[in-house]
Amino acid sequence: MAIKVKPNVTWFTPEILEFLLELGQNNNTKWFGANKERYETHVWEPMNALARDLIARMAKIDPEIRMTPEEAVFRLYRDTRTSIDKSPFKTHAGMLISRSDATRTAHPGLYIQIAPQAFGIASGFHVLSPVECMAVRRHIAANAEEFKTLLAGRSFRRHFATIRGESGKLLPPELTMAAEKQPMIHKRQFYYWAEHHAGRILSSNLPEFIMEHMEACRPMNEFLGRALVR
Average pLDDT taken over every residue of the chain: 91
Per-residue model confidence (pLDDT) at position 102: 42
Q: What is the pLDDT of residues 78-121, one digit of tens each?
A: 887 777 778 999 999 999 999 864 444 557 889 999 999 999 99
- The gap from C-alpha 72 to its chain's centroid, in whole angstroms, comes to 11
Q: Look up the pTM and report it.
A: 0.90
Q: What's the pLDDT tens digit per position in 141-178?
A: 999 999 999 999 999 999 999 999 999 989 999 999 99
Residue spans per domain, the chain:
15-226
15-226 CATH choice from 3.30.70, 3.30.930, 1.20.58, 3.40.1630? 3.30.930
| Residue 5 pLDDT level (bands cut at 50, 70, 90) | very low
In degrees and rounded to multiples of 5, residue 89 shows phi and psi of: -130, 145
Number of neighbouring beta carbons within 10 Å of residue 155: 14
